[in-house]
Amino acid sequence: MANPHAGEVALWVNGRREVLKLTLGALAELEAGMRTDSLVALVERFESGRFTTRDVLCVLVAGLRGGGWPGDADDIAQADIRGGPVEAARVAAQLLARAFAGHGLA
């Protein structure tokens, strides 16, 4: 079960419920793989609804890996996500919000 107080969010990937979490290592991986000046800029894009599919993919991969998932971007790009792209975007936004809640960033 995902613990929202620990910043966790759940997502069904290929018929399995996965727990996503943006750990410090996952945030570093996200920062390395994104095309933006900072994590704050990425959070602002999600808050304003100006995020890209690549943003969603990067956040999901980082969160999945932070939750212990061994896959990579190619795996999630080919995965069957319950709820499709809309659910993927919702989970990515929720993951960022939980990671930065109470810190003036989300």
What residue spans define the domains of the chain? 4-100
**CA pair distance 46, 60, nearest whole angstrom:** 13
Whether the model pTM is above 0.85: yes
Q: Tens digit of pLDDT per residue, the chain (106 long)? A: 788 888 899 999 999 999 999 998 888 888 877 766 778 888 888 888 888 898 899 999 999 999 999 998 899 999 999 999 999 999 999 999 888 875 544 4
CA angle 82, 105, 58 (to 5 degrees): 40
**CA pair distance 46, 59, nearest whole angstrom:** 11
**CA pair distance 29, 97, nearest whole angstrom:** 18
